[in-house]
Amino acid sequence: MIKIFVDAARNIQTGQSAAGAVIITNKKQRQLKSALPYTKNNQEAEFLALIWALKTLYKTMDVIQLYSDSQIMIDAIHKNYAKHYQIYVDEINALTSSYDLFLSQWLPEKENLGAHNLALQALK
């Protein structure tokens, strides 16, 4: 199983965004951070952060368990629909289609501090 904790950070004045992810595979943890393209809002940054994190994975036939504090993104993944972000939902589906199972779960922001702090570091 691959566990992904992902979060985005965004500077509301500049639109600059960044992503942080904690990826746990076989009890080994990787902490990743990256700048993202400029975004219109935090929700867009959250989708782009997940897409970025999925692209860092090694292609395996495995189970992915995603954790995020973005309720909008998790709901969109569960419904396979997002009015303003459907292009991102479709890309997430394409990136996860080769895995045996893709599960996603919302968690409170205070339980996602590892990914959150990495995103903040990348934003600076």
User: What is the domain-level CATH number for residue 18?
Assistant: 3.30.420.10
Count: domains in the chain: 1
Of 18-32, 50-64, 76-90, 92-106, least confident by mean pLDDT is: 50-64
Instruction: Return left, alpha or beta for 123; rule: phi > 0 is left, psi -120 to 50 is alpha, else beta.
Output: alpha
| Cβ contacts of 6 within 8 Å, gap of 6 or more | 19, 20, 21, 46, 49, 50, 53, 66, 67, 68, 115
* pLDDT 10s digits, 64-93: 999 999 999 999 999 999 999 999 999 999
Q: What pTM did the predictor assign? A: 0.95
Q: Which domain holds residue 41?
A: 2-123
Closest Cα partner for 41 from 73, 68, 67?
73
Contacts of 55 by beta carbon, 8 Å cutoff, 6+ apart: 95
